[in-house]
Amino acid sequence: MLLDLALGTGVGLFFFLWVMGYNVLPLALLGGLGFMIWKLVIQRQVLKTTGKGIQISTTSIDFEDIGGQNAAKKELQEALDFLIYSDRMKALGIRPLKGILLSGPPGTGKTLLAKAAAHYTNSSFLAISGSEFVEMYAGVGAERVRSIFRRAKECARKEKKSSAILFIDEIDILGAKRGSNISHHEYDQTLNQLLVEMDGLGTEEGIRILVLAATNRAEALDSALLRPGRFDRSVKVDLPDKEGRLAILTIHTRNKPMAKDVNLEKIAQETFGFSGAHLESVANEAAVFALRNNVEEITMLHLREAVEKVMLGEKLDRKPTDEELKRVAIHESGHALLAEHLHPHSVSQISIRSRGNALGYVRHYPKDDLYLYTQSMLEEQIMIALAGALAEEEILGARSTGSAGDYEQALRLVEKILASGMSELGVIDVGNLSADQRQKVTRNILNDLELQTKRIIQDIKTVLIQLSEILQEEETISGEKLRSYLEVRIA
């Protein structure tokens, strides 16, 4: 933008002086020399940065090495068959695919799928991040786009392969909607060049290039990039379900010595919402715990400790006072007992050891992965969230600031009830509710659920006090041990 302004001003000044009768030849020579120097500087910068961030590798990763993404793998393999059987596709008049977009949360295996795609199609593999294309110098990003496509063809020829896969990670940085970066037109110029390069794919004989891109913000991409003829397919790479988590854990523990008591299916059940990266970290942290304990095998205890660390963070050195510890034990016992009352066998572990930002926690695991919730399910989750503060109030006479996170969770669940048309207002546009209306219906829902929760806590008050005392002594209680205590009423 500044360059365009400077050039326009210079040309205007040149013609003004020429019309006024001045000798503009020295000015023209000086301007030409300056332009040549600028061009050399830009070219040098392009040459310096063109290869920056590009990873060229011959990958041995196969689709069998990736667990938990069966649907994504199947869809991707079907799309890649267009590249493998290109002659058959050409005979049928099918145009080649130019791009495949992998979208999904971070850590779900998008990069691994791209590497497996290169192995599956016997293609050269080049990887680059979207941020590597954007520079402060005008024209550098566009030149880098041209260069990476040339580089892909050169690598394929060098490796004597007929195709190359160009993987662009974080493409939302490069391919954001045009006009979203008003102060920096270099973004738009770089995206325009990518569109031009993708339009040219498949129009010439020789090396076939397939662009694979990954993003966790597909909604931010420019519509011109997503239209057929550029990114022809969009493959959703979502968080794995229970079977997928079990497959991922099996892959990441196959090179580790596991004890006979290890049950990976239970760990898979307890890690709802974990990505592949989280599960790999669980397996690695469990091995670290085994090393710290100077044992030769990873046990179930190590794996559960690893799940807690990945979920909540490392243990804190700071120890609460005896009074704080008592309050935390009562708080967590309230959560745990109400959860067991509403959903038997749902508590995995209770702890009052400080981890991350939590002084204590109750870990739950569902019998099945649920993606749809009824009104009663949401209300029961709210009651479990409120139980900690209400247990403190019932036994100690007052609530504490430790319930702030529970209230935030409860309010988010109330918002789901409102948005799903499950409140007394029925189906509404939540955005059109006034602050007073929203506050009134939220308060009504929470008041009703607080009363129900209080009645349950009052009924189990004796058990709650006894459980909190045991928790203060042992610090951590497993779900199995909790249920055995409840069977004998902690007598």
**Number of alpha carbons in the 13 Å side-chain half-sphere of residue 50:** 18
Kindly give, in sequence order, each residue whose CB lies less than 8 Å from that of residue 415, ignoring residues fewer than 6 positions away.
430
Contact partners, residue 209, CB within 8 Å, separation at least 6: 149, 152, 153, 163, 164, 165, 166, 201
481: tokens are 């041990």
Q: In what order do the strands lie in the sheet with 163-169?
A: 55-57, 124-129, 163-169, 208-215, 99-103, 233-236
Task: Determine contact, residues 331/384, Cβ cutoff 8 Å.
Answer: no
Count the neighbouring beta carbons within 10 Å of the beta carbon of residue 294.
Answer: 6
Q: What gap in Å lies between CA 207 and CA 425, rounded to an integer?
A: 61
Longest Cα separation, the chain: 109
CA distance 36 to 341: 79
Q: Judging by DSSP bridges, how do beta strands 124-129 and 55-57 pair with one another?
A: antiparallel
Q: How far apart are CA 34 and CA 13, in angstroms?
A: 16
Which residues are marked as active site?
332
Q: Contact 479/345 with Cβ under 8 angstroms?
A: yes
Nearest to 125 by CA among 170, 99, 159, 83: 159
Mention every residue, 6+ apart, whose C-beta is less than 8 A from residue 134: 141, 173, 174, 186, 187, 190
Strand pairing report for 233-236 and 163-169: unpaired
d(CA 80, CA 398): 62
Are the CB atoms for 461 and 434 separated by under 8 Å?
Answer: no
